[in-house]
Amino acid sequence: MPKSSSITRENILDAMTYVGTDPSQWPLCSRRTIYVVVDPRSGAALPAKLVLVTAADMASSDRRRTIFSGGEQTNRRLRELGFLVVEKASAELASSPAAMSL
């Protein structure tokens, strides 16, 4: 597993594409996440840890989800690569139909 510092922005973008936007396809634990990272291409809010772990998996083929803790360790690396990471509740509120009509 590469260290999170060796994961590139391109790895993250590839992982975002791989993870997709259908929560029913994500592991159950990823559907209950607190933090999401925003895909700059589509605006989709994706589980931050799932995206980072997937990027690491793609870079190394090591599939151990537990290498990264969630929370700040994951969020810091995603932010260092220029991605927006927010609490899931904030992302859901911003994308709600009521918020879009403001």
List the one residue out of 23, 29, 7, 1 whose CA is nearest residue 79: 7
| Separation of alpha carbons 69 and 9, rounded Å | 19
Say whether pLDDT at 95 is over 80: no
Please indicate, yes or no, if residue 76 is contained in any of the structural domains.
Answer: yes
Query: Given this model, what pLDDT does residue 94 score?
Result: 60
Q: Is the pTM of this model over 0.75?
A: no
Give the tens place of pLDDT for each residue, 43-94.
999 999 999 989 988 887 544 555 556 788 889 989 999 999 999 886 666 6
**Quick one: pLDDT at residue 1?**
40
Determine, yes or no, domain membership for 29: yes
Please count the structural domains in the chain: 1
In-domain check, residue 101: no
d(CA 97, CA 4): 36
